[in-house]
Structure 1
Amino acid sequence: MKIFIKDMLLSQKSKFNYNYEPDIDCCNMEGRDVKFNDRSEILCEITRKNNDDLYADINIHLDTTLNCVRCLDYMRAVEDVKISGILSKEDKDVDYDIIIIDDDYLDFDKIFYDAVFEHLNNNLYCKEDCKGLCHICGANLNNVTCNCEEENPNIDPRLAELKNFL
């Protein structure tokens, strides 16, 4: 969904509200599959300031199923992403937040994908103390214990003492 910015600047209104639900069930970003559990929702309020700047408050609700970054088990992650700033065509060197727009349009699909990308860049773990995968045999250390560390004779003897620190 795209919103034409000039329509807002020509309007007599000073507040504009938009509600958008992207029609997407899953996506693949950065090699990670993301499944959307519930409908994602974008709520946007745009306010015209006295100097004709448009200020946007955007709230994005994400309810996803994706892989834990340590053990690769599927997990559910729910996050509300908040974005706010002045709408601008260019990235100005200023002290306030700017939301970059393309060709006089505010593109909610682009904002949504940027929010999903940021959501994925958070290190999302299935649990705080996730042990991850064994780097030798690939076993999920949350479910099984393996003896790979004990059996590994390839430890450099000069570094063997470092094992005691863990």
Structure 2
Amino acid sequence: MTQLTPNPHSPYADANPNVRHIFPSPIFFPDAKPGVLALTACEGMAVVPEETTETGPDAVLPEGLCADCVAVMQGGRPPARPSSRCGECSTATWHGALCAVCRQEAHEAWWPTRDAACGKCKTPFDPADTRFDGQAQYHATPYCRACVDACHDTEIADHRCVICA
């Protein structure tokens, strides 16, 4: 049986990062494009992978699919998510600190830089190293978390460094 890899990483995705999600495509919507942060069947946000998997109605599903997405596609309901307000636009959302639209906008700014290296230390970004001083990219900036953490001039009101300028 085929084992699917999880969806590509994005710091703005809020769906389970350990499984592959299903992107329902109603007849009146175009198919989701690879690299886009899109709504999944389980109502989380995940990145559409480059390679797609197609199955027939009676086919055995590959391993690694999101169980909640499968349940929704088979007529079930998505899991309940707590409601909150978006920290950017104050819209009601069930996606946590950012609503779906703000997550998509932030992802679009971040996606082209995902394979890049830090603008200061030139170390390639490592999305898995999310420690405060790790090698993951710091938000949508061109710098890694380690370089941002190393900036010690933050107490000076008018300081200008390559990271904070």
What's the TM-score, normalizing by structure 2? Answer: 0.22
Larger relative contact order (CA 8 Å, sep ≥ 6): 1
What's the TM-score, normalizing by structure 1? Answer: 0.22
Relative to its length, the structure with more strand (as a share) is 1
